[in-house]
Structure 1
Amino acid sequence: MIDPAKELLELLDIETLDVDLFRGVGVGGETRARIFGGHVIAQSLMAAYRTVPTDRACHSLHAYFMRPGDTGHPVIYQVDRARDGGSFTTRRVVAIQNGKQIFNMSASFHVAEDGWEHQHPMPDVDGPDGVKNRAELRSGFADLIDEPLRSDFLRARPIEIRTVAPLDFQNPPAADDTNYLWFRMQAAKGCDARTQHCLLAYASDLDLLGSGLRPHGVNWFQGKVMTASLDHALWLHAPIQFDQWHLYSMDSPFSGSARGFNRGAIYAQDGQLVASVAQEGLLRPMRKK
């Protein structure tokens, strides 16, 4: 049986094909039907990192999802060395499958510097201890799903997730758009700083889009909505220790025109704000034929 955490780490070990040209595995991680958005974000960031001096860490990335990724084929990552400055380095990455762009990303990298510091405090929510993990929650709804979808629904994932105050899968009530979950991957212990950043980039796409559905009492499980990430922005504020618990605090200030806008703040368990996230996604009602 494949260890999903080990599989995710292997996904990040992309292959160098030529100068500024890399290849990543398309299958694995969160989904089997199509490539998970966080998967291609993380591999793109790793491709960019392979071309950046070791004294610079990513502080921001901005990306667009253009086509669904096919898990049956590898992904080619082409890196453009847009700028190498005295303090900042900029890279543009294009992800390609079957000769077409499926994703593109710009990322900026910065040398370590001192400056003023402040942050918003971490929300006061229940800690991860005593909160059911994702596998436990899903097992309670497995009988409602026919095979072969049931097997994929229950399949072990690489990242341990514990949702604070989870909603009912089958009949979620209309709820506040604020959403909290804890995540970690213990297999990340000892990984280098760049891999830690890529793992957080992967996780930053988890459950974020669902925040825009909460006020409307719907979710993907019901088959009432077509969802897809459209764009994604991530700001990295501090070094990451992904083997330790992090709180993902999410909300959705707006939805309309079949799109939802979502924000996230990621905190280490000690309260340090380590990353901020923003994303717009497709929230298209499924019409009965």
Structure 2
Amino acid sequence: MNAALRSLLDLLDLERIERDIFRGFSRPAVVPRVFGGQVAAQALVAAGRTVPAERPAHSLHAYFLRPGDPGAPIVYEVDRIRDGRSFTTRRVVAVQHGQPIFHLSASFQVYEDGMEHQEAMPQAPDPESLPTAEELLPAHADRFPEPGTVERLLEARAAVDLRYAQDPPFLTAGRPREPRSQVWFRTRGKLDDDPLLHVCLATYVSDMTLLDSVLLAHGRGGWAVGDVVGASLDHAMWFHRPFRADEWLLYDQRSPSASGGRGLGTAHMYTQDGRLAVTVIQEGVVRVPRSR
């Protein structure tokens, strides 16, 4: 386990202030606000710590309300909405400077047998055959107009080995293509067996690249290149089957629509042996700067 992953795990190890109130801190982000995947993962940690371990998370639905301040702590207030025989529901509000910045509802379920089917895993190259971020980003530093962007991107992804299966948006700017993007990811080190930890780390990563497919459809290079501005609006995830975030997961992402200054991304996460583990849907603000 590298230092960046240890630091990320420390961020997810929230401080318990009261029975249902937790406090967390932030790590540096590429943009001057709290990374959305971080606040979503921390909120799920807060919810999960009020639920028995034998009830793993099976879904979350969240809204990003205000930009988070990375220099200030975040307080997570958990509301115990329901404790049923099979399902447990929690609502979490993340607060900074006296205002809510994020809202999450999460549901947990006692494991039970049931009907089984899944969408087949799509074709994708072997993750070990793909370049790492440390190989890919510095080789294309000229694509990023702002000095230090490559270093900030590498720092943001230091805890997670994330590899693009096809050219990312910053390499295809000006050339629209099918609105589909695939990445493989896993943490840079082995994790404990706690299922909540693996679910929370997948939640963290899920916000990194989901809207790339929106950019690809329009030949835009993205936020780091400077030809698009945007932010996450809402986020939903369904956890279908057990998985480990320290083993390769294929994140297959598509965009069915963009309109009204918003773009929609839908995705599946598959284990390397082909099991559908997670479904993700996100809408975000996607705007072209006026000067362009």
Task: Please report the TM-score for the alignment, with normalisation by the length of structure 2.
Answer: 0.93
Residue 200 (str. 1) matches residue 239 (str. 2): no
Which deviates further from its counterpart, 150-159 or 220-229? 150-159
1:281 aligned residue: 284
Aligned AA for 1:184? R
RMSD of Structure 2 on Structure 1 (CA) = 1.7
Match among 247, 250, 259 for residue 250 of structure 2: 247
Deviation at 1:194, TM superposition (A): 1.1
Residues in 1 aligned to 2:267 and 2:119: alpha-carbon distance in whole angstroms: 13
Deviations 1:217-248 (Å, cap 9, x if unpaired)?
00223312111000000000111211110000
1:135 aligned residue: 134
Match among 165, 179, 190 for residue 192 of structure 2: 190
Residues in 1 aligned to 2:169 and 2:46: alpha-carbon distance in whole angstroms: 39
**Partner SS, residue 113 of structure 1:** coil
1:84 aligned residue: 83
2:22 aligned residue: 22
Which structure 2 residues correspond to residues 1-289 of structure 1 after superposition, within 5 A? 3-28=3-28, 31=30, 33-143=32-142, 144-155=144-155, 157-167=158-168, 169=170, 171-172=172-173, 173-218=175-220, 219-288=222-291
**Partner SS, residue 53 of structure 1:** coil
Deviations 1:174-195 (Å, cap 9, x if unpaired)?
1110110000014243341111
Residues in 2 aligned to 1:168 and 1:36: alpha-carbon distance in whole angstroms: 19
Residues in 1 aligned to 2:138 and 2:161: alpha-carbon distance in whole angstroms: 15
Q: Give aligned pairs, total.
A: 287
- Paired residues of 2:182 and 2:253 also in contact (CA < 8 A): yes
Deviation at 1:19, TM superposition (A): 1.4
- Paired residues of 1:139 and 1:154 also in contact (CA < 8 A): no
Structure 2 unaligned spans of 5+: none
Q: Identical aligned pairs, as a percentage?
A: 44
Which deviates further from its counterpart, 166-175 or 242-251? 166-175
Deviations 1:171-217 (Å, cap 9, x if unpaired)?
52211101100000142433411111111111111200121111100
Deviations 1:50-106 (Å, cap 9, x if unpaired)?
111121011000000011111101100000000010100000000001111100000
Structure 1 unaligned spans of 5+: none
**Partner SS, residue 182 of structure 2:** strand
Deviations 1:22-60 (Å, cap 9, x if unpaired)?
0011224x5462211110010000000111112101100
**Partner SS, residue 6 of structure 1:** helix
Residues in 1 aligned to 2:194 and 2:84: alpha-carbon distance in whole angstroms: 24
**Partner SS, residue 107 of structure 1:** strand
- Paired residues of 2:89 and 2:108 also in contact (CA < 8 A): yes
Which deviates further from its counterpart, 165-174 or 102-111? 165-174
Structure 1 residues 163 and 70, CA, compared in 2 at 3 Å: closer, same or farther? same
Residues in 2 aligned to 1:123 and 1:287: alpha-carbon distance in whole angstroms: 38
Deviation at 1:168, TM superposition (A): 5.9
Task: Please report the TM-score for the alignment, with normalisation by the length of structure 1.
Answer: 0.94
Which deviates further from its counterpart, 92-101 or 197-206? 197-206
- Paired residues of 1:32 and 1:152 also in contact (CA < 8 A): no
- Paired residues of 1:6 and 1:187 also in contact (CA < 8 A): no
Deviation at 1:146, TM superposition (A): 4.2
Deviation at 1:169, TM superposition (A): 2.0
